[in-house]
Structure formats: structure tokens, C-alpha cells
Amino acid sequence: MKFVGKLILSLLILLLLIVVVSYFLLQTRWGAEWASRRISDDTAYHLSVAKIEHNFSHPALLILHSVSFGHDGRPAVTVAKTVSLGLSFNLFDHPLRFATIELRDGILDVANMPNNLAWPLQAGRLQLHDMTVNSPHLAVNAKKLNGGIIPWQPEPGRIAGSNASFQFSADSATFNGLTATNTLVQGRISNGQLLVNNFGADIARGSVTGSAQRDSQGNWRVAALRLNDIRLQTDKPLAAFLQPLRALPAVHIARIDMTNARLQGPDWAVTDLNLLVKNLTLRHGRWQSEEGSLALNADSFINGQLTLNDPILNLRLSPQGVTDARFSSRWVNGLIRAQGSWQRQNKRLTLDELALAGLEYTLPENWRERWMAALPGWLDSVLVKKLSGNRNLLIDVNPAWPFQITALDASGANLLLARQHQWGIWQGDLNLNAAEATFNRTDVRHPSLALNASAEQINVTEISGFTGEGMLEGVATLEQAPARQLSLTLNGRAVPADVLQNWGWPASPLAGPATLQLKLEARLTAETPLKNSASGTLMLNAGGHTLQQTLSQGAVSTQP
């Protein structure tokens, strides 16, 4: 018995000696390299540790120095100056589940972790200190990140797991190419749902704060978002800058406040922007709302050749569309004001009132192409119930046929200005008059035009104006059918005999004040030149001489 007792004691002493020797050997560089090599050879991971440290003053803490860890065949997921492992009795049941894991001074690159594999380690708390984190799945890159996850139970494709609370701060972070500093985020993950209780950051020389949540299908609900004093410059055109909003899967906005923002890109800018959005859902480029609203005002808005000063826009939103829209702005030295609604079902924009005052507008070079181009899918028709214009200036500098209309006044009622995505005058009454005008270098005083339109034709009941010492008067009809057949009758008394020359009629051998009568038939189709389709007669009487000219398919014959 004494022999057996001595043998057992000797074995225990030997075992203790082996443990002590192993304990001290593992804390040497050779021991750390041996342990790293064994793990790398015997598992699907590669591990490199320069030193293993343990101190009996903190018996539940194991510190690894200069650590590199990742999956075989891939770059390291984690590189850290130190990794501290908090030990607990749970290690006997779950050898890879630690009380705490702390990563300090390194990089956590989620891009190097396969989506179908989870981390082999777990912890009651994961703590990060001064770490750089890269997550391409979330389009996030953060530097000098500090914070933690409780508990940390990573899953395949989910480094934070499915149920955890988190809090992080970072000196700088980049999200979808947008850089923020002094970033703070707090929240939790519950069964795949992400709840952000609070986040804040300094961004684009301003600040952003808010709260939001995302469900397991990836749909977001923004409870509150506040952006103050943003100063953002981008190299993207306006359409490309707004594209991420159109690509969102689904975002419900309970409230967004933006104050005193300045945004600028190539050929566009907005200054001193204030924006308030309530109860709006964006989904794949479309929007929905239940009792929502949008209020916007700015000092200026520039997009290409369009410049709006002091624009104000207020919208009331509903499932049926925009129930009340109010817009006003200073534009080209004048004022534009509109009020109306937009119906989702028939995609009609109805303006109860449109007022234009004091505008000095030069038409763009391609205004005819814009007039003929189809409207976007969301806008089928435009109805203006009441149109008023006051002392406007309209200019076209097209060298082929320039014109200028000064002090132009307008009034209209029930004008259908677009139908089936095509501009036109499809319905309603319109009256135009001006102080003076120049049409292709021919001056006209007090020009006036009155018309009424229906689905079949446009009836011009009055065309009048003074030129030279006399007056021109006329009427016209324009068919709304695709052939766009035009009939025009124009009479002149004491007008210059060559008054029609600058308007496309061949020169007349007569001179001086004349009486004329023009009857013209033509087609105004976009694909057919007007001259080739025109036919008619001109009767001219000047100085006791009478002249008749006949126009046929653009060719003129003269009869004395």
C-alpha cells in the first residue's frame, strides 16, 4: 500500500511538474509559436501569436500578443496587438466560449470571413479598443473604433449574431462612401431585427442624430433623423446623387429634419436648405404615405440652367397621391406660384392656380425637342384650372426664327396642357396679349391671341397686332389629329407690303402701306417641314396695284 501511495504521489508530482513546465513554456516565444502551429495544422484556421501572457494577480485573464487569425486560404480576419481572453468555469463545458474577448489596436476585416462559416469563438462580451473594422456587406469602414457586443455569439454571415446589445464609437467611419467623424451608435439585435436606439456623428461639417430599426427582411423604419448644418460636396450629378434613394428596398420615414444644409455637385447646388418629412415610405423608387407631409424651403436651388431663388414647397401626402401641393419661388427675375394636387390612379397633376409674374425667360435651344418629348411615367396629364400671367418677357434666340415678347399677360381656364404623356393644348381657354413683340425681326405692337381648345381641334378666335401704320387680324384652326392640319386666315390694313417676308413668305414686288388677305393650309407635324406642306393664296393691294400669289407645296407663283 505504501508503494502504491508513493507511486500515486510521484505521478501527481510529475503531472504537476509537467503542468508547471508547460505553463511557463507556453509563455515563452517558442511556446507561443508551438501552440500557434498546432492550431493551424490541426484546424481549418491559421493562427499566429507572438507571446502568451498570464499573471496570477489576474488568474481569469489570458493575454495574447501580436495576434493574427483567419480561415485557411484567406487573409486574416483579425490582426490585433493584444487579445485578452476572460476565462470562466464554462470553458469546461464549452471550451471556445469565453467570459470576455477583448481586441485592442488592430484590424477586424469581415470581408475575409466566409459567409457560410461562423467564428469558432464566443464570449459573454466582445470588447473592441482602437480597432479598424471593415464590413463590405454593410458598406462600412470604421477607424479607432471602441465598444462592445453583449453577448457575442456569431453565426454564419452574422458576425454580431442574432440576439445581442451593442454600443460603439469611432473617430471616423465611412458608410456608402460618406465619411463621418465622432460616430456613436447604440442598439440591439433581436432575432435578426436591428434596433438602433441612438446614433450620432459629425458629417460634412455638420451633425446627424437619430434612431431607426430594420426588420429581418431588410426593411427600415426611421423613427427620427436630424441633420444640422450639413456642407456636402460630391462629384456626382444630381440624378446619380439621388439614385441610392431609388434603390432602397423599403424605408419608412416617421420624421426627418434637415436644417441649414448646403449641397453641391457638378452643375447643381442647393443652399440653406430646410426640409421636414413625415410619414413617408420609399420602396424601390416609389413612395407611399398615410397622412404624410413634406415641407421644403431654401435660399437657392440650381440644376443646370434652372435657378430658383427662395423656393418653398409644401406637400400633403395620402394613399391617393398628393392631396395638396403649394409651390412658390423667385425665378428669372420674377415670381412663380402654383397650388394643386397629383392623383396616383390617373397620374394627373391638377393645378388649381398657376401664376407667373415679371419673368424674364429665355427659352432653351432645344425647347421644341422638349415640347415633343414624352413625359415621365408618373405624369400622364397636366390640368391648369386657372392661369394668370403678368408683365412677363419671353425670348427665343434661335437664329432661324428668333422672337421676343415684352410685357406678356396671360389668362387661362381649364387648360389641359398635357395628355397621355404628351405636351399640347388639349382643352380649355387661353388669352395672351403683350405690349410689343418682335417675330423674326418684324416688330408688332400690342399683339393679342385668344383660343379655345377641345380634344378635336384648337380654335384661334383672335390674332391681332399693330405693325407699321396698320393692323393685322386673323383666325385659325388646328386639328388635334396626328396630321395636325392648320387653317389660317390673316387680314391686314395699312401694313407694310413686305410684312410677311420675314415670316417665310417670298418677297413682294409691291411696296408701301398695303391691304392684304392670306389664306393658308398646312400641316404642323414634327416630321414634315412646314414649307413643304403649306398651300394658300395671298391677295395684296398697295399703291393702286393688286397682286395675287399662290403657294403650293412651298412653291409660289405670282399673278399681277
| pLDDT of 293 | 97
| pLDDT of 28 | 56
Give the three cell numbers for residue 285.
423608387
Percentage of the chain lying above the pLDDT 70 cut: 90
Q: Give residue 317's identity as a one-letter amino acid code.
A: L
Indicate if the alpha-carbon torsion angle 454, 456, 457, 459 is positive or negative: negative
| pLDDT of 413 | 98
- Tell me the CA distances in angstroms from 79 to 157, 161, 532, one per residue in order: 20, 21, 78
* DSSP strands (E only) in 191-291: 193-203, 206-214, 220-228, 231-233, 251-265, 268-283, 286-288
| pLDDT of 19 | 47
Cα 412 from Cα 429, distance rounded (Å): 5
| pLDDT of 64 | 82
Which has the closest alpha carbon to 468: 427, 501, 512, 530?
512
Cα of 496 vs its chain's centroid, Å: 55
Burial of 133 (0-12, 13-18, 19+ CB in 10 A): buried
Cα 386 from Cα 356, distance rounded (Å): 11
| pLDDT of 346 | 95
- Tell me the CA distances in angstroms from 76 to 79, 133, 152, 388, one per residue in order: 7, 13, 20, 70
Give the three cell numbers for residue 342.
397629383
541: which strand partners? 515, 546
| pLDDT of 24 | 46
Give the three cell numbers for residue 101.
474577448
Cα 228 from Cα 200, distance rounded (Å): 11
Give the three cell numbers for residue 116.
457560410
Residue 66, number of CB atoms within 10 A of its CB = 15
Segments in the chain below pLDDT 70: 1-33, 35-36, 54, 56-57, 89-95, 116-117, 137-139, 554, 559-560
* DSSP strands (E only) in 344-498: 348-357, 360-362, 381-396, 403-419, 422-433, 436-439, 442-453, 457-467, 470-479, 485-496
Cα 203 from Cα 214, distance rounded (Å): 22
| pLDDT of 23 | 47
| pLDDT of 27 | 53
Residue with cell 409644401: 314
Element holding 142 (H helix, E strand): strand 140-150
Residue with cell 431588410: 218
Average pLDDT, the chain: 87
pLDDT in tens, 141-159: 889 999 999 998 888 878 8
pLDDT in tens, 22-68: 444 445 566 556 766 777 777 888 888 887 776 766 777 788 888 88
Burial of 73 (0-12, 13-18, 19+ CB in 10 A): exposed
